[in-house]
Amino acid sequence: MCTSLRGCTVKEPHDLIAELKPAHPPRLYGSAGCETWSVRFSPDGSYFAWSMGYGIVKLLSWPLTSKDSAEAGCSEEKTLNCRQTVWALAFGPCISTRVDALHQNGRDHELLLAIGLNNGVIQVWVVSTGNLRVTLTGHQAPVRDLVFTPNGSLTLVSASRDKTVRIWDLAKKGASPHVLRGPDYWVFRCSISPDSSVIASVCNLDSKVYLWSLRSYTFMRHLTYDHERTMASCDFSQDGALLAITSYHSTTGWWLDLWDPYTADLMTRVEDCEVCAYRSDNLLTSLSFSPVGLLLAFKDYRALRIWDVERDKLVTDTDHNRAGGVCCAFHPHGGIIATGCRDGHVKFWRVPRLVPSLKHLCRIALRFSISTYQVQALPLPKKILEYLTYRDIPKQKIVCCKEHCR
């Protein structure tokens, strides 16, 4: 039985709060090179990085000034010329909000920006000066995703079309990376659990998710789908108890699935509606859990939607009204999400500020430290166990409302 996400809000003019436009317009709509493939906020929210196309990355102070919003050019910005198509950005060191202060080992590290390029090179820049710090080589194909471990260290994980995931220790100059092999297809995305113990990676044509141990650098398990699909993106929830996966098929639409990474159970699914499923241009391209509350943003080429998983309703459903969006990123303090488009533009949207329930805050505190199996072994009533293991989320297929189709 299929149900619809409830409580979807109608787009309002004030949802869009700012827009960045590239200094150079695209040569032709849809032409390669002008896309904004990645946008990122720094861990403390004081910087914003934007791959504006043609090998250029802009570093801007946040919040933006009115001049920043009007055009990409101000005295405080830094322009990083990478001379290659930019696929991925990552700020580091990054510290999870759940990491105990005693284990935060990134206090003395300067803020860095890692950039993944089309030629397989990773450039690491110093944010304060805009100078290139180090160049990492080893990947034999474009670097599609980058992420720093959220424990404050300078451990960087990269995913590449050369079918490998590599783990780099930037604190050790010249150290060789750990290489994780196994996939038969391009590795598109990777995500790290908040406790820095697990890497999840997805490949473009592989109908399964790979989970790796970041402690032993070994393969752990697959999350397997029963039919062919193209994997698009992945992200862990704030406590690491949920893993969101997006995928699509050119003829049957897209899916957003929530998995339990410990038990490999599929918890629930958001599915494209029947009308949009037959549009080959409507592919789910990105998703991101909010650092505040249990909000999950997911984005296809036409719209940005934000799902309040705890209350099971859409709180934002916003059309781009421009070239399709391809990436999104939450501000670390919540309240704002940035989306990048195929024409090089970046838009900033207001996110409803929802106060997490006290019981959900307790669930996050518990689940950050213990696995699903450990929770299930506790002598607690069934309903409490279901809540703590997210088994209370509706298990039906959740279909996007048809009224939002174009």
Give, in order, the Cα–Cα distances in Å from 158 to each of 150, 167, 213, 222: 14, 7, 15, 19
Q: What is the pLDDT of residue 229?
A: 81
Q: What is the pLDDT of residue 27?
A: 56
- Assess if residue 406 is contained within a domain: no
Q: Which two tokens stand for residue 230?
A: 């193209």
In terms of Cβ atoms closer than 10 Å to its own Cβ (0-12, 13-18, 19+), residue 365 is: exposed
Q: What is the pLDDT of residue 2?
A: 36
Contacts for 40 with CB less than 8 Å, ≥ 6 apart: 48, 49, 89, 90, 91, 113, 329
Per-residue pLDDT band for 380 (boundaries 50, 70, 90) equals: very high
- Assess if residue 379 is contained within a domain: yes
**pLDDT at position 106 over 50:** no
pLDDT in tens, 107-162: 567 999 999 999 999 999 999 999 999 999 999 999 999 999 999 999 999 999 99
- Pick from 89-93, 195-199, 269-273: least confident: 269-273
Q: How many CB atoms lie within 10 A of CB 138?
A: 17
- Assess if residue 403 is contained within a domain: no
Number of separate domains in the chain:
1
- Assess if residue 7 is contained within a domain: no
- Assess if residue 2 is contained within a domain: no
393 or 41, which is more confident: 41
> What CATH number does the domain containing 288 carry?
2.130.10.10
| Rg, C-alpha atoms of the chain | 20
Planar angle of CA 179, 184, 190, nearest 5 degrees:
55
Q: What is the pLDDT of residue 353?
A: 81
- Assess if residue 198 is contained within a domain: yes
- Assess if residue 71 is contained within a domain: no
- Please give the Cα distance from 259 to 209 (Å, whole number): 10
Q: What is the pLDDT of residue 70?
A: 47
- Pick from 7-21, 38-52, 109-123, 304-318: least confident: 7-21
Q: Which two tokens stand for residue 20?
A: 């960045």
Q: What is the pLDDT of residue 109?
A: 79
- Assess if residue 269 is contained within a domain: yes
In terms of Cβ atoms closer than 10 Å to its own Cβ (0-12, 13-18, 19+), residue 172 is: exposed
97 or 35, which is more confident: 35
- Pick from 56-60, 85-89, 306-310: least confident: 306-310
Amino acid identity for residue 290 in this structure: S
Per-residue pLDDT band for 319 (boundaries 50, 70, 90) equals: low
Q: What is the pLDDT of residue 325?
A: 77
Contact 336, 348 (CB under 8 A): yes
pLDDT in tens, 219-244: 999 998 877 788 889 999 999 999 99
171 or 273, which is more confident: 171
Q: Could you list the residue range(s) of the whole structural domain that residue 336 is in?
A: 16-63+76-96+106-398
What percent of the chain is predicted at pLDDT more than 70?
82
